[in-house]
Structure 1
Amino acid sequence: MRKKRGSYGFAGARKRRRPARGLLALAAVAAVGAALVVVLRPVYGTAPADGATADGARDGGTTQTRWGPLSALDRSLLVKVRQAGLWEMPAGQQAQQRAASPRVKEVGAMIMQQHMQLDADTRLTAQRLGVLLPNEPNGTQQSYLREMSTKFGADYDRTWVLRLRSAHGQVFGIIAKVRAQTQNTEIRAFAERGMKFVNTHMSLLESTGLVDKNALH
């Protein structure tokens, strides 16, 4: 009887808990994947919100909204920030799995999470202003993801930081230009919020110690 009880004692309970931990790990991975599916869901656009008109939007001209004129440059900001998130969120998730440096893994997680927040803001602002958003990264951004998928170890870390730091520098310049020129109060507020995110991401990338002069061009 003692042997029988021993077989169902602490050791047995410990063995039974192992599958449960495995299921929790799988659930966590599934949750991240589900979150990305929501964020990366195609955005086909909606009719302009109250006070916005579609006149001029199709030919790249200026439209009138309740928040002021909405220029082609204003619309391009929403498009570019959306596309930035569409490749940097998967890149951040990938870094957590492939990076050799613990700091790169950590930065990848933070950038992914913050881009999810920024993407939600982008989609909401675009819906309010009646701006159509893309549902996939542009060709260059897709090539970055393919390139990083071929790298391993320290080479992966350097490539990942190079591509993301360079891209953030370009987006930062666009945001600054729109913030200086826009006459639309919604876009102005969005640009200010976006600039804080991008500035934070540049600092995070630089904290890896892997940013070189090529990333600053």
Structure 2
Amino acid sequence: MGATSLPALASSSSPSAVSPLDSQLLIAAHQGNLWEIATGQQAQSAATTDCVKRVGADFVRDHRALDTGVVKTAAKLGVALPSGQTAAQLRQTAALKSLAGTPAYDPAWLKAQYPAHVQTLALIDKEIATGTSPLVKSLAKSARPVVARHTRMVDQGVCHA
């Protein structure tokens, strides 16, 4: 789950099994996963180093698996998911694409991944602490180690040697 721009929390005073935070997590996670898959696929062909290509492939594999859980959980809870990435994510993907095959691509890709994962970790932690849906909280708990590992990969990362 990687998110570069999170939707604002909707306000709701009616008690339900799915809180605004639960919905926000599902929506942001889905859009983040779509972005991670797209940029991971892009990295596999646009990166100039084998390391970034490998990390991109890992992200595609992991975020496809994470998104399967998000989509299933959202369907069970009746949360409508958007069909695509946010406008900001699409702009970021295009900006990365403009660097494809150049020495600037790899550091730009790694730099874009870091805040997306940090932001996702913050939302995951908030969901774990204060979310109301046991299904969404469980999803967040299972996603957290994957997102934390990805964050470490692009920050201290395997490609910064």
Q: For the superposition of Structure 1 and Structure 2, which TM-score range results when normalised by the shorter chain?
A: 0.7 to 0.9
Task: Select 1:140's aligned residue among 84, 88, 94.
Answer: 88
- Do residues 209 (structure 1) and 160 (structure 2) align? yes
Shift of 1:185: 1.1
Root mean square deviation, CA, Å:
1.7
2: CA distance, partners of 1:93 / 1:208: 17
Secondary structure, aligned partner of 2:104:
helix
Alpha-carbon separation, structure 1, partners of 2:67 and 2:114: 18
Task: Point out where structure 2 has 5 or more consecutive residues left out of the alignment.
Answer: 1-9
Counterpart among 65, 68, 77 of residue 25 in structure 2: 77
What is the TM-score of this pair, normalised by structure 1? 0.65
Cα distance, 1:143–1:60 mapped onto 2, change above 3 Å: farther
- Identity of matched residues, %: 29
The structure that has the greater radius of gyration is 1
TM-score by length of 2: 0.86
Q: How far apart, in 2, do the equivalents of 1:141 and 1:118 lie?
A: 18
- Shift in Å at residue 153 of structure 1? 2.4
Unaligned runs of 5+ in 1: 1-57, 211-217
Indicate if the aligned counterparts of 2:40 and 2:57 stay in contact, CA closer than 8 A. Answer: yes
How many residues align? The count is 149
1:172 is the counterpart of 2:121: yes
Contact 2:29 2:120 in 1 (8 A): yes
Instruction: Identify the residue that residue 123 of structure 1 maps to in structure 2.
Output: 71
1:183 & 1:115 partners in 2: Cα distance?
Answer: 24
The answer to whether the 8 A contact 2:11-2:20 is kept is no
